Amino acid sequence: MAQAIRRIGVLTGGGDCAGLNAVIRAVTKSAIFQHGLEVYGIEDGFLGLVQNRIRPLGPDDVSGILTQGGTILGSSNKCDPSQYATRNRDGKIEKRDVTNRCLDHIDHHRLDALVVIGGDGTMSGAANFVHHGINCVGVPKTIDNDLYGTDVTFGFATACHVATSALDRIRTTAASHHRAMVVELMGRNAGWIALHSGIASGADIILIPEIPFDIEEVCERLQHRHRRGAGFSIVVVAEGARPSDGSLSVSSGDADEFGHVQLGGVGNLVTAEIEQRTGYETRVTILCHVLRGGTPTAFDRVLATRFGIEAIDAAHEGDFAKMVALSGGEIVRVPIEDGVSELKTVDPGLFDVAGVFFG
């Protein structure tokens, strides 16, 4: 028989996305109203656990946040307590394991369990706490939709919706000016957003991290379209898309002092190459963080709410070291390690669907 829990902590880690507040609300209301638990919010992801920034959350704190983007708790994608980066006296970065400090803070606030909402980095952090004997339940989020173990993460549908509506708008101005328009979207290691919004908006070329592209081939396709009479073209490029060897040199920026590599720039390069190689007037739009902000779609609100309630049910039942997930329409629980066991790259069948329309 699992030991009854009385108090839970909740945190949001990694890059934010639409739907995080919907989970926080569902977790808090379900814990308090359904199970009589107390809820504590941990600020800025694992950073708040390291720095002991932990505060009580009540129903009033989460009232009205269902529709809000961002996270009322704040987030950080630069804090791994097992490799906590600080500057020493010489200004150099030093990394050390401060997991024990977090354990002290968990103990101090008498948190019996943690609900950890995040992507692969955050799930890896949760797995570390599980190994140190902390009761954790994971809730998967990322706009990139690249978390293994769940059919889909919340935030993805909203990102696709925003990208698609932007692409629809770009199409009309592209047509008016007879231009090639390049649109860079997020998608670090997987091209789910580019593929979905590209198909949804009828893009002419979609470049994703999973399939290295040849810039010469991209230009030939555009020229083929124009020879057939198309007066404009839309090229969607995921931020993590890479050219096949030697065709174009893309620098993605170095890792910062915390090991975080900032992507971006491939859209500019592709744009310059298209204009130079084809002579078509070409413009670039970089959407990226726009996809993470703002109000969640109805689908993401519902998914986030279902995830939050399931996470509290799991905690109440003592079913720890699990990540809630969507599988074939059902909410299920999978081992937390499943979320980070491998990367969920795009479905090749979906890429074939897109290819039908490339001409």
DSSP bridge partners of 94: 86
Smallest gap from residue 343 Cβ to ligand F6P (A):
12
In sequence order, the 6+-apart residues with CB closer than 8 A to the CB of 208 are 187, 190, 191, 194, 195, 238, 240, 241, 346, 351
Alpha-carbon span 250 to 241, nearest angstrom: 10
Instruction: State the minimum distance, in angstroms, from the CB of residue 16 to ligand F6P.
Output: 8
Q: Which residues are catalytic?
A: 144
Specify the stretch interacting with ligand F6P by CB under 6 A; choose among 124-132, 140-148, 167-175, 310-318.
140-148
Q: Which of 165, 173, 262, 276 binds ligand F6P (CB under 6 A)?
A: 262
Q: Which residue is nearest to ligand F6P (CB)?
A: 15
Applying CB under 6 A, the site for ligand F6P has a residue count of: 14
At position 315, the amino acid (one-letter code) is A
Q: State the minimum distance, in angstroms, from the CB of residue 152 to ligand F6P.
A: 15
Q: Which stretch binds ligand F6P (CB under 6 A): 185-193, 222-230, 299-307, 336-344?
A: 185-193
Backbone angles phi, psi at 186, to 5 degrees: -70, 165
**Torsion sign (Cα): 228, 232, 234, 235:** positive
With CB under 6 A as the contact rule, which of the stretches 123-131, 184-192, 205-213, 306-314 interacts with ligand F6P?
184-192
Q: Does 77 bind ligand F6P (CB under 6 A)?
A: yes
**Is 327 one of the binding residues for ligand F6P (CB under 6 A)?**
no
For ligand F6P, which is the closer residue by CB, 143 or 205?
143
45 three-state secondary structure: coil
The 109-138 contact track toward ligand F6P, x by CB under 6 A, reads: ----------x-------------------
String of b and e for 61-80 (b: at least 16 CB within 10 Å)? bbeebbebbbbbbbbbbbbb
Q: How far is the C-alpha of 307 from the C-alpha of 135, rounded, in Å?
A: 17
Note whether 71 binds ligand F6P by CB under 6 A: no
By the rule CB under 6 A, 15 interacts with ligand F6P: yes
Phi-psi region of 65 (alpha: psi -120 to 50; beta: other; left: phi over 0): alpha
Residue 144 touching ligand F6P (CB under 6 A): yes
Q: Is 236 among the residues that bind ligand F6P (CB under 6 A)? A: no
Q: Measured from the CB of residue 188, what is the shortest distance to ligand F6P in angstroms?
A: 4
Please state, in angstroms and rounded to a whole number, the distance separating the CA atoms of residues 134 and 88. Answer: 30
Number of Cβ within 10 Å of residue 92's Cβ equals 9
285 interacts with ligand F6P by CB under 6 A: no
Distances, alpha carbon 34 to alpha carbons 2, 30, 322, in Å: 18, 5, 20
Q: Using CB under 6 A, which of the segments 61-69, 141-149, 265-273, 321-329 binds ligand F6P?
A: 141-149
Closest CB to ligand F6P among residues 105, 292: 292
Which residues in the 288-307 window bind ligand F6P by CB under 6 A? Answer: 292
At residue 171, φ and ψ (nearest 5 deg) are -60, -45
Interaction of residue 45 with ligand F6P, rule CB under 6 A? no
Q: Which residue matches tokens 């639409």?
A: 18
Check binding of 188 to ligand F6P (CB under 6 A): yes
Which residues of the shown chain bind ligand F6P in the complex (CB under 6 A)?
14-15, 77, 119, 142-144, 186-188, 239, 262-263, 292
